[in-house]
Structure formats: structure tokens, C-alpha cells
Chain A
Amino acid sequence: MFHSNHGTRRSAAAVRSSTSGGLEGGGVGSPAASSASEGSSFRPSASTFWLLLHGLCCLISLFLGFRFSRLIFVLLFSNTIYTYTTTTTTTITSTRTETLTVSFPLTHTPPIETAVKPNNSAIELSDKMLNQGSSHSQVVVGRHGIRIRPWPHPDPTEVMRAHQIIVRVQQEQRKWYGVKSPRPLIVITPTYARTFQALHLTGLIHCLRNVPYPVTWIVVEAGGVTNETASLLARSRVQFLHIPFHEKMPVEWAERHLTENRMRLLGLRVIRERNMDGIVLFADDSNVHSLDLFDEIQKVQWMGSVSVGILAHSGGPDRTLLTEDEKLNPPIPVQGPACNSSGHLIGWHTFNSIPYSEKSATFVGESATVLPGKMEWSGFVFNARMIWKEAEEGRPEWVKDLDKIGENGEEIESPLALVNDASFVEPLGDCGKKVMLWWMRVEARADSKFPPGWIIDPPLEIVVPSKRTPWQESDDLAGGKLEQDDRRFTRPKSRSSSKRKNTLPGQDN
């Protein structure tokens, strides 16, 4: 809807000046228009008079901020136009931040005379009568005030209520469209106290708290239980089991991978001892998970595999330049199941680590690319009943008994060692096409210092004056701002004001 026909409207307004009363939207100077056309019927010298009047009206309107000439027309013509009184509480609504609530209906009624009187139902007649006079229909055409309440900011109680509504709506959505009869999750995380532990664990804690299924979190800590980890877990509000691991975490990456594998096996043994039920998931503390992952793994029957995005470059600042061949066929950094066209598992995508063979990091915290293992544990999930002691009915024969693994001291590289036949693994996430978690290793040097528990206690004593203070600063005073304040007040005013002018040019006086 556009209203660019100002010309026609103005002339029409002149014709119907008795009914319109200066009420037009959009164009400026409608009273001038009606007055101009009226002026055409007067003597020519009157046109200059009207022009002057128009200019005066414009100036006053500019000053006031609204077209006050409307008011004049309303007052002059009110007897002939309106059949019911209009409450004109006139306030200026020009500024957008006006805080008064305004009721400002300058209106005109719909025309009383109609072209043809309808001859059928009396209902229509009574409708017209309602239109004409009574206050039955409150909807009027014309300019209305913009109602703004005195404190247009959210009320915290209402915000909380809105969040409760959203939670309930999402619960209902899950009930109808989500997973039916969801199983609880058992999450195994190997960790140890180091600089970046708080960073990684906080992210993982928040992720697990958002998971809509019951979660039991088994945290295996290398080097025994420490206060740092314990305090992080205590604040997490996730149900957890804090399991100590007797070895300390080694500094080389290769050794660290092997130690983590042993820690995960320990976690599995805990599940086996306690006969915990649910779906087992390996969440490394530095990995990033998407909430879709937790919905997807509910589909697993016995053992499933998801695609893991490998973010190998995150560790170091060096950008390994891609060769020409690599630029044409970029290496896909995804580890996961590979399927044929009918959706059956035929193999595995692994991370191509050949380009990085000379340049990978050896020590934790070294600024080079950290390489993942052949098959990351985090890409596999399985039913906890698979590792229970008693041969549950339905437990497939292709699963090895957990006790027999690691007996001879061999290293377990990937969860595929838990099974006899890898072809029974179910590919999840649209056959591996959807990547729902990302493997990332970002660590500081093993000897880097950080405040224990990330608590600064006692508070720091060094005070350094900032470059841009709102207070007047003098060059010779380094610290002790309080003394500076006292001194400022005792200085003569003229000096301080002149100094203010010099040092803080942006401020008003």
C-alpha cells in the first residue's frame, strides 16, 4: 500500500474540507493545500497572505514538533464533523522516547450518508447506526498515540515464567516427536589437573547439563583424585563418579593417548562391576559435542559409530601449506564409518596423517599439530549391557568378554578391539554423513603456571593506574588515587577547570 498520490489527495481534501478537517497522513502541508485551493477562489492579493500564513504555520509546527494546524481545524470545524466527542489530550509525541502514555484520537467518523440504502435486512441498518453514533465501535480511523509504558523493560518474574513455558513446550515436543523411551547415558571422561582443565571441563559440564536424558558421568582422573577436579565436579550439578587412576599423565602425546585408553578401560570395568544400564559414550574433556549427538545415539542397539570431525590444526599456529594436489582434493578431516549406497557399513574413514608425519607435536603443549589416533574412542558408543558379566540374552557373540581384554598387557588402540567382528557395528548419524562431535586437542605446556583452582586468593595488591580514567589525572602522580582526589578538591577552581579543559577535551563543562 503506497500513498504517493499527494496531489490528488490534496485536491480531494480541498473539495471535502468540511469532512476531512485537515486529517491526512504522509504529506506535509495539507492545511496549506486546502488553504491554497481555497485561496484560488479569492482575490490574488490574498494568495500572498495565505502563503505567509502557511510559512508561519510551518515555522510554528517545526518549533512544536507536530502539525498544530490540525488542532485549529478541529476546534473550528468540530461542530459540523463529529457526532461524538473526542478527548484531545494533546501532548507532543514527536520524540520516540516519550514516556507518557498518550491517547490522541483526532478522528473523523465514517460518512453518515451512504449511496444506496439497503433494502433487505434490518441488521445492516442497525450496523450503520452503530457506526454512526454509539460508542459501540471503538475502532476509529486516524492518528493515534503511541502507547509506551513508563518502564519498558522486562520483568524478571515474567522472564522466568516465559522460560518455564518454553521448557514445557519443548518437553511436549520431545514427547511427540523425539525419542520414545529414552535410555540413560553413561559418559566416560579421562582427565587430569592441568592449566586448560577448567576450560575443557566447564564446556563439557554445560553440555551434559543440557542433555535431556539422565546422565551418569564417570570421570577417571590420572594421578589420583585432586582438589581441582573435585571442586569442578562438585559445582557441576551432574551426577558423577570420580574414579582415581594410579598413573600420572605422561607428557608425550603418544604416551598420553595410551594412558587415556587405559583410563577408559577402567571406566568400563566400573560399569561392569556395578551393572550400570544405559548407553556408554566416551566424551573427552576437550572435545566439542552437539546436542543432536545425544538424540542420535539413542538409536544404538549394541554398538554404533558416529563421524568425528578432526580439528587437528587447532593446536599450533603454523599453517601447513597445502600442496597443489591437496588443494584440488582437500583432505576430509572426518573419522568415522563409511557406507555403501544401500547404507551398509563397508569400512572406516580415518584421518590422513601422512602430510603431518614430520611436523606433529610430540610433547603436550608443543606448538605443532596434534594428531589423533587411528580410530578415536569418542566416535563409538555402545549398549552398557554389552560388557556385563553375565551373558545377557541377546548379547551377541561377536562381543569379546571385557576381562579377557588387556589381560596380556597389550595396548587397546580403539574400541574395535572389544569386538570380534567389526562389521556388526551400526553406523549412526545418517551413515556417518552428519558430524555431531569434533575432536580437538588444545593444551598449554606441562610446566605452565596457573592459580590453583583458578581462584585468586589473596586478592592482588598491585594497583596500576589506567590510561583513560574519568578522574582528572596528573602526570606526576603514579598511584594512590584517593590522595589525588583529596588534592583536587583543595585546588582552586579555576585551575582545575582549566586543567579539565586540557586533559579531557571530549567532555562538556
Chain B
Amino acid sequence: MDKATWVLLLCFYSFLIGNLRAQEIEQSERAERISGAAGDVLEDNPVGRLKVYVYGIPSKYNTKRVKKDPRCLTHMFAAEVFMHRFLLKSPVRTKNPEEADWFFVPVYTTCDLTPNGLPLPFKSPRMMRSAIQLVALKWPYWNRTEGADHFFVTPHDFGACFHYQEEKAIERGILPLLQRATLVQTFGQRNHVCLKEGSITIPPYAPPQKIWAHIIPPETPRSIFVYFRGLFYDVGNDPEGGYYARGARASVWENFKDNPLFDISTEHPATYYEDMQRAVFCLCPLGWAPWSPRLVEAVVFGCIPVIIADDIVLPFADAIPWEEIGVFVAEEDVPKLDTILTSIPTEVILRKQRLLANPTMKQAMLFPQPANPGDAFHQILNGLARKLPHDRSVYLKAGQKVLNWTAGPVGDLKPW
């Protein structure tokens, strides 16, 4: 009698567990786990792995700018503002700078907007310089390492080169004072002056509330093959074409405007987010800079991103295996885009959709407030944690100076 009840209980227990496991397996089959070059690190918890000290510099560098122009909270460069706010409330923050592994200087360099809403980078180098001078004078930690254990968020077009035009940005190069610091930026292109070794590439800011408000039922069938909305020719700045996007967007238009598989146009539809959820491929070509919020939107809406930007470095490239998730097309292969996309085997396409369906993938691209585990804030902290412990050479001996405080264009040296 006793034995029978035990056997029955065991059977019941194993059936229950088996059922749960089956559900788990089904869930995981719908979405595949993502592991990049650094391993399966998307779901790592940075709390306990690093400590960040946030400098308390005058609000004219940060909060006053936002108060003056609240558009800084919604444009695609808003990551600098939200990173600051996140760090102030995060458990990784420490009020004791002696035990900190990383130091954060909260300066909103892209919060100087034109009436149109575009940021002017002309004063940003001076603003950054002024902030660093303040930090170096008031605290000893900058001079200890000349900034090698400090990090900054520079989300502008070409990062810390502080210019919107690529030639000018390349000429300026990264601000000399930031030569040793870690830069958290959206711009990433291999073999480019404005991408420093050891930078952390992040996605541009896309407002999460707006995105989540436009989610449609997942059973809506995907019936658009390729989708794109945006400019092909920047008529105001480059009327002849060939300069904007290195001619790649113009090439897409000229080759595929008559192709029924390509739903591409310059319109601004009200159903832009809904349409992306009904498309199989979403084009993410470069513009004036190689990165764009389209990548974030495509990933969140489950549309396979087709990245047309040579040598681009995508966000969190060591944590997310972008080659397995997106399709990379060289700019010179744009005329063959339809051949390339239709010759991808169906199994590969389904696998990419499964990877995109992974909720950690979608979370890692967004900056929600308040922060959720696994979101972009946490990925940045994970990236910083992976760079620890600091190399011994980071700490300078007393009196050793590396940075040249007078380098750079003369205009940058003026006080801000």
C-alpha cells in the first residue's frame, strides 16, 4: 500500500516536471538563446561585479541643459541623459570613490539643439574639456590614471570627434583629453579615427513607450518582403547624390523602385511601426553616419535587419552575434540585393527570426525607464565589467603625464 502510493506520487511528480520542461522547451524553440563572442553574456547581472562613482559636477553641464531644452529627452542622442539618471539610482553606484572601479562624468554634450532639433557640436569639445578640467582639479582620480578608468557617453554622430560631417570629424579626431578614457558611443566603424579601441558601442535611443504602444498581435502574417522608409537623396545637402550614404541609398532606390517585393518610399506613414512588424526584412542602410535607430526598431519588431554599411561596428558587438541575426550586404553589392535576399535558405531565415524573437535581444536594444534587467543600461555595465580588472599600466606613477592638454584646434581651448 505504502509502496504503491510512493510510486504514484513519483509518477505524478515526474509528469508535472516533464510538463513544465516541455513548456520550457517549446518556449525556447520559439526563441533561440543568443551568445556572442564573449559568451552567453546578455543576461549577466552587473550588480556586484563593478562599482561606479558618479561625479557631482555643476548642473550647468547636465540637468540645466535638459531643463533648457526638454527635447534632449526624446531625440536619438538621449542615452547620455538616461545613463546618468540610471547610474544615480543603480545599485552599482557607490558614494565612496576609493572603492570605485569606474568613474562616470555626466556631461550632456549633445544637448545644444537648433530650432529644428538637431544638435550643434561646435561647443561640445569646449564643454567636455571644461568638465574634465573641473574633475581633474577637484578630485585626484583623474590625474591618477589620466582618465583611463573613467567613461563618458558620447552618442553624437561620430562619437567623440564632435562633428556631424565625416571629413571634419576625421580631421578633428577624438578629443585629445579622451585618449585614455572609455567611450560609450553609438558610432562604430572599423579602421576609423573616431572609434577608439575599447569603446563600447551602444544602440541609439528609441523611446520604448512609443514602441510598445504599437505592438500588433504576433499572429499577423508577415506579408511584406523588404521594407524601408526614409530618404534616398538628401536634396537639401547633397542634391546630386553620391555623397549622402556613399550613394548606397540612391542605389537602392534606382535599382528597386519598380520591384514589387521592395516596399520602399520616402513617406512618413502613421503605421510605420506596424508595417515593420509585417515585414520579413527591414533595410538599415547608412546615412550621413553608419548607425541609425532603424536597427533598434527592426530588432524590437522582429524584422530581420539588412545592414548596408561597410565596416560598421554594431551595438554590443561582443555580446550579440550580429552576423547570425542580421544580413550584411556590402555597399557595392546593393544592385544585387534582391538576388542576395532571395537566395538565403529558408532555414537560415527562420533561425534569424527565432533569434530575434528572444526577449533578451529586444530588451538589450532599449533604454526603458525604470530600467529592466537585461536592457541596454545593464549591457553597458556588463561591457564595463568585462574590461575589469584594470591593467597595471593604467595607474600612472607620480608626476607622469601622458595627455597633452593644449592639443587640438585653437578654438577648443577657449573656456566654456
A interface vs B, CB < 8 Å? 1-3, 20, 23, 25-26, 66, 93-94, 96-97, 101, 104, 108, 110-111, 114-116, 118-121, 123-124, 127, 130-131, 136-139, 141-149, 152-155, 158-159, 161-162, 164-166, 168-170, 172-174, 176-178, 295
Contact = CB atoms under 8 A, between A and B. Distances in A.
A295 B341 CA distance: 31
A3 B288 CA distance: 11
A155 B221 CA distance: 24
A158 B339 contact: yes
B280 A165 contact: yes
12 contacts: A1-B164, A2-B237, A25-B238, A110-B171, A116-B407, A119-B402, A137-B191, A137-B311, A143-B242, A152-B335, A166-B225, A168-B350
Pairs of residues from A and B, 3 with the lowest C-beta to C-beta distance, nearest first: A137-B191, A177-B219, A149-B335
B402 to A, nearest CB: 6
Nearest to B245: A144
Interface of B: 30, 114, 116, 118, 157, 164-167, 170-171, 173, 176, 179-180, 189-193, 196-197, 217-219, 221-223, 225, 236-244, 246-247, 250-251, 254-256, 258-261, 280, 287-289, 310-311, 331-332, 334-336, 338-339, 341-344, 346, 349-350, 353, 393, 402-404, 407-408
Contact of B243 (A25, A138, A176): A25
A466 to B, nearest CB: 30
A13 B259 CA distance: 42
Nearest to B223: A166
A168 B352 CA distance: 14
A66 B260 contact: no
B219 A136 contact: no
Contacts of A144: 242-243, 246-247, 331
A23 B243 CA distance: 10
A152 B338 CA distance: 10
A1 B259 contact: no
Contact of B288 (A1, A66, A115, A170): A1
Contact of B403 (A116, A168, A177): A116
Nearest to B196: A124
Contacts of B239: 26
B391 to A, nearest CB: 9
A170 B240 contact: no
A177 B217 contact: yes
A169 B260 contact: no
Contacts of A104: 242
A2 to B, nearest CB: 6
B222 A2 contact: no
Contact of A1 (B157, B192, B218, B256): B157
A1 B118 contact: yes
A20 B165 CA distance: 14
B114 to A, nearest CB: 8
Contacts of A159: 260-261
A166 B225 CA distance: 7
A25 B236 CA distance: 10
B238 A141 contact: no
Nearest to A170: B221
Nearest to A104: B242
B368 to A, nearest CB: 24
A111 B191 contact: no
Which of A104, A118, A168 has the most chain B CB atoms inside 10 A of its CB?
A118
Contact of B241 (A23, A146, A162, A295): A146
B222 A114 contact: no
Contact of A146 (B251, B260, B353): B251
Given A1-B288, A177-B219, A165 B342 contact: yes
A347 to B, nearest CB: 29
A147 B334 contact: yes
Nearest to A65: B240
Contacts of A119: 402
Given A26-B237, A159-B261, A162-B338, 15 more contacts: A1-B164, A1-B287, A2-B236, A25-B244, A26-B243, A111-B173, A115-B176, A121-B197, A127-B191, A141-B170, A144-B246, A155-B338, A158-B339, A162-B342, A169-B353
A164 B255 contact: no
A424 B55 CA distance: 68
Contacts of B192: 131, 137, 139
A124 B197 contact: yes
Nearest to B219: A177
Given A165-B349, A173-B221, A93 B167 contact: no
B176 A152 contact: no
A294 to B, nearest CB: 13
A168 B346 contact: yes
A387 B310 CA distance: 65
A108 B236 CA distance: 23
B311 A139 contact: yes
Contacts of B179: 116, 118
